[in-house]
Amino acid sequence: MSVLLDDGNSECLQIVAAPLTGRPFTLSCFFYRDDLTADACPIGIADTGGATYYIFLRVVSSNHGSAPNQVYLSVRQSGWSEANAVSGAGIVADTANQWYHLAGTMAVGGNKYVYLDGEASPVNSDDRQPTSLDLTTLGAFERLTGPQWELSGGLAEVGLWNIDLDTKEIIALSKGFSPLLVRPQNLVAYWPLIREGAAGVYRDIIGGLDTVASGGSATSAHPPVIYPTRSQVISASAASSPFGPLAMRYYRNMRVA
């Protein structure tokens, strides 16, 4: 069961750490909204010291002027304006309670794309270097003044890579392949967001940055996902496995959606 968040209660998941330290990077997740009238941020990473460095994926509301329900990858560096990759015409998340796959990539040279269900945006080439990042928020965006753009709906399969995945790899993720099967050597954080126990712990099975939901949370049916098989994960030693010992323990227990 994936996490179900309620923006009315300011529910989100926060980790006082940032597995990403700048570009290149990839952010990926599945999400759905049960309220299309509000903006939502499935993944946000920020600098809480000055709030001038950040990365986030955002879905704008159905009331957003001439471009409702589009998706954005936004990056800012101190002293520079925000740089945005924006989904193209007709590439929108405009159906309530429907799972969508959302991803954003940024290369070393600055080229940025945002993807919705594997469809790439036009490139944005404005270079930014988002350093000093120290807070990761899932289901909202926060810098200094509390969460904003809280997601009202479901969130699952959040992955962060320290490399910009290519279009074919993003398409594979959008088709339901687990982040553990796509460049696992560059995967720095992975929250399946399958709730564990009464306390509602959500585990990062790569980096160990476990979290619980601020404001509480409920659960929702998980999107279909193709996980590594048991033999793929536990046949190697912890030292040699590209998935790492945490992932090995996780899949040895066969926690699958």
Domain positions in the chain are: 2-252
Q: What is the pLDDT of residues 28-78, one digit of tens each?
A: 999 999 999 999 999 999 888 776 888 999 999 999 887 899 999 999 887
Has this prediction a pTM greater than 0.95? Answer: no
Whether 256 shows a pLDDT value over 90: the answer reads no
Topology at the third CATH level for domain 2-252:
Jelly Rolls (2.60.120)
Q: How confident is the model at residue 216 (pLDDT cuts 50, 70, 90)?
A: low
- Please write down the HEC assignment for all residues of the chain: CEEEECHHHCCEEEECCCCCCCCCEEEEEEEEECCCCCCEEEEEEECCCCCCCEEEEEECCCCCCCCCCCEEEEEECCCCCCEEEECCCCCCCCCCCCCEEEEEEECCCCCEEEEECCEECCCECCCCCCCCCCEEEECCECCCCCCECCCCEEEEEEEEECCCCCHHHHHHHHCCECHHHCCHHHEEEEECCCCECCCCEECCCCCCCCECEECCCEEECCCCCECCCHHHHHCCCCCCCCCHHHHHHHHHCCCCC
pLDDT above 70: percentage of residues in the chain: 84
Whether 236 shows a pLDDT value over 60: the answer reads no
Whether 97 shows a pLDDT value over 70: the answer reads yes
CA 92 to chain centre: 17
